[in-house]
Structure 1
Amino acid sequence: MGEPNEVTFRLTRRRSSVPRARAMLHAALGDWSVGQDVLDDSELVLSELVTNALRVRVPGDRQVGVRILRLPHEHLVRLEVSDAGSGKPEIQHPGENETGGRGLMLVEALAHRWGVEERACGIGKTVWAELKATAVASDPAPPTEVPAAMILPGQCVRVWGSWRTALGVRGDLDADGALHVVIELDKGPALRVRSRETLTVRKAGTLAAPRATETTPG
């Protein structure tokens, strides 16, 4: 079976979700061998789409959905951000002295094309953007094994027979003083393993994030 052509995750409605979305994007595009210029543009576009979605007025428990796809045959990277809000975002034309309202202008300038669709299931909408990426690899870098202490947020980890995305990584000492690593996953419970136990990941070292460090249990 080939590696998946998409990454999906959900974001809570808080400011920290924007850098988290960028980190997930960085990991995915790194695995797909996307060039730095496309990666930079994609980060800007995704940041704007997620920021706009977080501003939409919806019930507090409604999350924002993100889908990142590679379309190697079309040489495109597609970004989709879904929210439960109504209405259709439109490009604004703020005056010279206005500091806001330029997000979609940036999206239009950087994307090959973009648009808005009603969600097929559920309420709300999906705002999408596609960016040209001639270097998108049809097959990502092969998986590799690394110690659990080397796992980075945004990497895909092979656990329980399937791939899971690491959302957060922290160190934890047990009663005997042994260091364990706790990995928060996008699906299912967190994974807790000894720091030296090897795990299978996709393209280790994609993100320049710190290793898990020792912490004193509270």
Structure 2
Amino acid sequence: MTTSNEVTFRLSRSRRSVQRARAVLHSVLGDWGTAQEVVENAELVLSELVTNALRVPVPSDRQVGVRITRSLAEGLLRLEVSDAGGGRPEVREPGEDETCGRGLLLVEALAHRWGYEERAAGIGKTVFAELKAPDIVAGPAVREAAAVMVRPGQCIRVRGEWRVVVSVRSEHYAGGGPAVVLTLDEGPALRVHAAEPLTVRQGEGEDEGG
């Protein structure tokens, strides 16, 4: 999909990736006008799903995939985390003295529905969780959006002019932060932090005033 109802990105197998995932999710849900309680619950759920994916034994070059989607009709927020490992996620009931193993208990408590699916192509699985978010609404024609939410075919305002986004790819800064590189129809590519707010509109044919 290339609509603003879906955001996908990949994470390296690093401890910092949990924080990066939370930062992107926070930005996305802010753009979607999500209630604070839903934001907090979603951040907890995504943190647990990413943490579990990072613990799965996989070849060292395998990244973790994250997909965030919203259903306006159903008022649902869906979080998906994919890894290349085997096995199946199972809810545990750790003893009082155990310090870990409670992640999926938290997911089960906060999510409306959760589960896992085998990946259609390649190896591994996708673990998903859906949260009720009745306040999610469609965005306006011209809006402020995090760079990570921009998609090919949309227009962004660059130095006072509208430019069509030709392609989008994710990168990481040398210091570890998530970045987005936007190739435009004219001029040099734009490289910004994933959470950088950009002025966005749909398609080329709309009036610049929105």
Give TM-score scaled by structure 2 length. Answer: 0.74
User: 1:71-123 CA deviation, whole Å, 9 max, x = no partner?
Assistant: 11111000000000001010010011111000000000000000010001111
Aligned residue-pair number: 179
User: Residue 209 of structure 1 corresponds to which residue in structure 2?
Assistant: none
Equivalent-residue separation in structure 2 for 1:62 and 1:109 (angstroms): 30
Question: Match of 2:99?
Answer: 99
Aligned counterparts, 1:22-171, within 5 A: 22-139=22-139, 142-144=142-144, 156=150, 158=156, 161-162=165-166, 164=168
| Aligned CA distance change for structure 1 residues 11 and 107 (closer, same or farther; 3 Å) | same
Q: Does 1:8 align with 2:19?
A: no
Gaps of 5+ in 1: 146-151, 171-182, 194-198, 204-218
Contact 1:31 1:140 in 2 (8 A): no
Stretches (4+) displaced over 2 A? 138-145, 152-160, 162-170, 186-193, 199-203
**Hey, what's the Cα distance between the residues in 2 that align with 1:167 and 1:53?**
20
Q: 1:96 to 1:186 in 2, by over 3 A?
A: farther
Aligned to 2:180: 185
Cα deviation, residue 27, structure 1: 1.2
User: Helix, strand or coil for the counterpart of 2:37?
Assistant: helix
* Superimposed CA distance per residue, residues 171-217 of structure 1 (whole angstroms, 9 cap, x where no aligned partner): xxxxxxxxxxxx93267797369xxxxx94359xxxxxxxxxxxxxx
Verify the 8 A CA contact 1:115 1:128 in the aligned structure 2: yes
Unaligned runs of 5+ in 2: 157-162, 202-210
Distance in 1 separating the partners of 2:30 and 2:200: 10
- What's the TM-score, normalizing by structure 1? 0.71
What is the RMSD computed on CA atoms of the aligned residues? 3.2
How many Å separate the matches in 2 of 1:115 and 1:164? 30
Identity of aligned residues (%): 57
* d(CA) in 2 for partners of 1:90, 1:153: 35
